[in-house]
Chain A
Amino acid sequence: MSITHLLFWFLTVLALGSALMVIFSKNPVHSILWLIGTFFAISGHYILLNAQFLAIVNIIVYAGAIMVLFLFVVMLMNLNTSAIPVKNKWLGFAGVISGGCLLLVLTAALKDTAVMRNDVQMNTGDIGLIHNLGMVLFKDYVLPFEVSSVLFLSAMVGAMIIGKKDTNETS
C-alpha cells in the first residue's frame, strides 16, 4: 500500500462523496461548494497522474471562474434558502434507478476485459507538463484552437444578446 495508493483512494472517496453531496444537499449554495470540493479532488487526481497543467487549469477555470459564476448567479437570485424540494417521489426514484442501471451496465460490460488490467503511469512522465502541452497545442492543434476562439466569440455574442436588457423592454 504505497503512498500513491493511499492518496488515490483518499481522493476517490473525497470526489465521490462530495459529488453525492452535490446532488443530495438541499441548499444550492451548499451544492456549489460541494462541487468545488469535487473539482479539487479531481485536480488532486490530475496531480497524482502528473498532469500539472490540467490540474492548475481545472482549479483556475472550473473552481475559480465557472463555480464563482454559478455562485454569483445563485446569489443574484438569492436562492440560498433551500427553495425547491426534490421533484416528486417516484420520478426521483426512477432517476436514481436508471442512473444506477447505466452505471451497472457499463461496469458489467467492462469489468473483465483485458484492457482493464493495463497500468496507468503515475506521478511520472512529462506529457502533462505545460511545456509539452504548449508545444503540441500551438503546433498540431492550431486549427481547433482557433475554432475554439470562434466558439467563444459566438458564446460571447450570445450571452450579450440574451443577457442585455432590451431598450424597448424598459419602455
Chain B
Amino acid sequence: MAAIILAAIWGVVMMFSGLYIKNKAMAKYIAVTGILVLLLVNALEYYNIWRIDFDVRGLQKFTAFGTVFNTIAFGATLLYFLLNGKEFEEVGKDVFDYYALIFFSLCGVTLVSSFNSLLMLFLGIELISIPMYILAGSDKRNLKSNEASLKYFLMGAFSTGIMLMGIAFLYGATGSFYVGAPNTPGMEPMVAIGMVFLLIAIAFKVSAAPFHFWTPDVYDGTPTVFTSYMATVVKVASFIGFLKLFDGAFGKSHGEWQLLVAILTAATLFIGNITAVFQQSVKRMLAYSSIAQAGFMLLSVFSLNTFGREGLIIYAAAYSIASIGSFAVLIKLKDHSIEGFNGLAKSHPFLALMNVVFLLSLTGIPATAGFFAKYYVLMGAIKSGQHLWLVIFAVLMAAVSAYYYFRVIQAMYFKEGTPEVKPVSGAYKTTLWVAAVLIILIGLFPSVLTKALYA
C-alpha cells in the first residue's frame, strides 16, 4: 500500500522539483532517492515492520508474491535510473517529467502486482500504459518516435476496449468485479467470452503473438532509453497481472483455456525467435527477443503451478536485469546495428564482458539467472503434464535464440572494428558490474528469490 501511495507522491515530487530545480542532472538523484525510498517501504512492508493499512474494501490484496515482485521492479528501475541518467537528459528538456511519468507507471505496477478487483487491474494497466504512450513520443521532432507513440496509443486504446468488454461479460456472469468471482470449475459461455476478451487484451500488453505487432515498431521507434524500461519493467508487470488474473479468476477451469495459452505461447516463441534471427539493428533484435522471452514467460501462465509462479518471479528478475544491462550497453554505442559492436572487446573489454554476461543470461546458459528462469518455467510446463510438444518446441526455439544473441557476441569478440562509444562514467561501470554480479548470483542460488515468496 505504502509503495502505491509513495510512487504516486514521488511522481508529483518530481514534477514540482522540475519547476524549481534547473539543473537537469539533479533529476536523476531525486529519482534514485525516490526508488530507494520505495524499496525501503517495500522492505518494511515485507518484513511487517511498518505498513500503511486502510480498508480498501478488498480491492487490493497484498501478498508476499506481489511484494517480492515490487522489489524486483523497483530494483530493476533503480539499475535503470543509475545506468541511463545521462540519456534521459538527451531525449528532451522535460527530464523531471519523464521521471515523474515513470513513477506514475510504477504506481500502476504496484497496483497490478496486488490487485484483487478487475477494476484495479484495469486502472493499473491504464496507469502503466498512458505514461508509456507519452514516453514513446517524447522525442517529438523524430518521426519514428511519433509513429511509435501513435501506433502504441491506437492499438493500446483498442486493446483497452477489448479488455473492458471482457470485464463487462465477467460482471454480467458473476455480478461482481472481484477476481475470485468467476473462479469455478466449469466455464459457462459468458465467462468464456469474458475470459477470451481479457486474454486477448493482456496478450496484447505482454506482446504475445499474434497480438505482438506493435512491439517491434514501438520499441524501435521509442527513444532507446525508454524502450529499455518498456521492454522490462512494464512487460514483466503486465505478466504478473496476467498470472494473477488467470490464477485467481480461472485457476479452477485451467484445463478449459490451457490450449489457448499453449497456442499463444507457441506462436510467440516462433515469431519472436525466428524473426529476431534476421534483424540487423540490435535494438530491433532486442525488441523481437523480448517477444521471444515473453513466449517463455507465457509458459508460466500455461502451467499455472508453483514452479510456474516461482519461475515467473525469477524470470522477471533475470530478464529485467539482463535486458536493462544489455540496453544500457547498446545505448552507449553510436551505431545500433550489429556491425556497430564489431571489435568492442578490444576497445572496451569491460563493456563487452558485461554484455556477454547479459546475453548469456538471455540465452539461458547455466550459472546465469536466465538459465534458472527458463529452467523453472520449463519445469512448470512439464509438471502440468499437458502438451509436452510445447516444451520441446520451446527449447528448440531457445536454441534458435542462441543464434541471434551470439551474433552480438561474435561481433564484439571475433570481428575487427572500431566502435564509437560515448564516454562511460565510473558509476555507470560499477552499476553494470553490480547487475552482472546479480545475474550470476541468481544464476547460482535462485533459491534466494523462490524462498522469499514463502517467508
Alpha-carbon gap, A148 to B59, bound state (A): 14
In chain B, what residue has the closest Cβ to A150?
B8
B138 located at the interface, meaning its Cβ lies under 8 Å from any Cβ of chain A in the complex:
yes
In chain A, what residue has the closest Cβ to B140?
A166
Alpha-carbon gap, A115 to B172, bound state (A): 9
User: Which residues on the A side are within 8 Å of B188 (C-beta)?
Assistant: 113, 115
Q: Which of B111, B124, B138 contacts A161 (CB 8 A)?
A: B138
The SS class assigned to the B binding surface is: helix
Contact A151 B130 (CB under 8 A): yes
Alpha-carbon gap, A169 to B141, bound state (A): 8
User: Which residues on the B side are within 8 Å of A169 (C-beta)?
Assistant: 140-141
A143-B120, A160-B97 known; A113-B190 Cβ under 8 A:
yes
Contact B190 A115 (CB under 8 A): yes
B60 located at the interface, meaning its Cβ lies under 8 Å from any Cβ of chain A in the complex:
yes
Alpha-carbon gap, A154 to B111, bound state (A): 15
Digit string of B326-368 for contact with A (CB within 8 Å is 1, else 0)?
0000000000000000000000000000000000000000000
Contact A150 B190 (CB under 8 A): no
Alpha-carbon gap, A150 to B105, bound state (A): 10
A61 located at the interface, meaning its Cβ lies under 8 Å from any Cβ of chain B in the complex:
no
A144 located at the interface, meaning its Cβ lies under 8 Å from any Cβ of chain B in the complex:
yes
In chain A, what residue has the closest Cβ to B111?
A147
A79 located at the interface, meaning its Cβ lies under 8 Å from any Cβ of chain B in the complex:
no
Q: Could you tell me which residues of chain A, from 130 to 171, have a CB within 8 Å of some CB in chain B? A: 140-144, 146-148, 150-151, 153-155, 157-158, 160-162, 166-169
Contact A144 B123 (CB under 8 A): yes
Q: Could you tell me which residues of chain B, from 98 to 128, have a CB within 8 Å of some CB in chain A? A: 98, 100-101, 104-105, 107, 111, 119-120, 123-124, 126-127
Contact B94 A161 (CB under 8 A): yes
Alpha-carbon gap, A127 to B163, bound state (A): 25
A98 vs chain B, min Cβ distance (A): 13
Contact A150 B193 (CB under 8 A): no
Alpha-carbon gap, A33 to B130, bound state (A): 27
B186 located at the interface, meaning its Cβ lies under 8 Å from any Cβ of chain A in the complex:
no
A67 vs chain B, min Cβ distance (A): 16
Alpha-carbon gap, A151 to B97, bound state (A): 14
Number of A-B residue pairs having CB atoms within 8 Å of each other in the complex? 93
B419 located at the interface, meaning its Cβ lies under 8 Å from any Cβ of chain A in the complex:
no
Contact A158 B134 (CB under 8 A): yes
Contact B8 A113 (CB under 8 A): no
User: Which residues on the B side are within 8 Å of A158 (C-beta)?
Assistant: 101, 130-131, 133-134
User: Which residues on the B side are within 8 Å of A140 (C-beta)?
Assistant: 57
B178 vs chain A, min Cβ distance (A): 12
Contact A110 B189 (CB under 8 A): yes
A94 vs chain B, min Cβ distance (A): 15
User: Which residues on the A side are within 8 Å of B12 (C-beta)?
Assistant: 153
A109 located at the interface, meaning its Cβ lies under 8 Å from any Cβ of chain B in the complex:
yes
B173 located at the interface, meaning its Cβ lies under 8 Å from any Cβ of chain A in the complex:
yes
Contact B192 A143 (CB under 8 A): no
A127 vs chain B, min Cβ distance (A): 12
A106 located at the interface, meaning its Cβ lies under 8 Å from any Cβ of chain B in the complex:
yes
B287 vs chain A, min Cβ distance (A): 22
Alpha-carbon gap, A161 to B149, bound state (A): 13
Contact B11 A154 (CB under 8 A): yes
Alpha-carbon gap, A147 to B122, bound state (A): 11
Alpha-carbon gap, A134 to B11, bound state (A): 28
Alpha-carbon gap, A169 to B94, bound state (A): 14
B387 located at the interface, meaning its Cβ lies under 8 Å from any Cβ of chain A in the complex:
no
Contact A109 B130 (CB under 8 A): no
Contact B11 A150 (CB under 8 A): yes
In chain B, what residue has the closest Cβ to A116?
B190
A87 vs chain B, min Cβ distance (A): 14
Q: Could you tell me which residues of chain B, from 1 to 22, have a CB within 8 Å of some CB in chain A? A: 4, 8, 11-12, 15
Contact B15 A157 (CB under 8 A): yes
Contact A144 B59 (CB under 8 A): yes
In chain A, what residue has the closest Cβ to B134?
A158
B92 located at the interface, meaning its Cβ lies under 8 Å from any Cβ of chain A in the complex:
yes
In chain A, what residue has the closest Cβ to B131?
A154
Q: Which of A143, A150, A151, A166 contacts B92 (CB 8 A)?
A: A166
B429 located at the interface, meaning its Cβ lies under 8 Å from any Cβ of chain A in the complex:
no
User: Which residues on the B side are within 8 Å of A146 (C-beta)?
Assistant: 8
B49 located at the interface, meaning its Cβ lies under 8 Å from any Cβ of chain A in the complex:
no
User: Which residues on the A side are within 8 Å of B190 (C-beta)?
Assistant: 110, 113, 115
Contact A157 B59 (CB under 8 A): no
Please name 22 pairs of A and B residues whose Cβ atoms are closer than 8 Å in the assembled complex, sorted by A.
Answer: A109-B189, A113-B188, A113-B190, A143-B60, A144-B59, A147-B120, A150-B11, A150-B104, A150-B107, A154-B11, A154-B104, A154-B127, A154-B130, A157-B100, A158-B101, A158-B134, A161-B98, A161-B134, A161-B138, A166-B140, A167-B93, A168-B93
Which residue numbers of B lie inside 8 Å of A, CB to CB?
Answer: 4, 8, 11-12, 15, 56-57, 59-60, 92-94, 97-98, 100-101, 104-105, 107, 111, 119-120, 123-124, 126-127, 130-131, 133-134, 137-138, 140-141, 149, 172-173, 188-190, 192-193
Extra contacts, 11 of them, besides A147-B111, A154-B134 (Cβ < 8 A), are: A110-B189, A110-B193, A115-B188, A146-B8, A147-B4, A154-B104, A158-B130, A158-B133, A161-B138, A162-B137, A166-B141
Q: 9 closest pairs, A vs B, by CB?
A: A158-B134, A154-B104, A140-B57, A150-B8, A109-B189, A143-B56, A147-B123, A161-B94, A154-B131
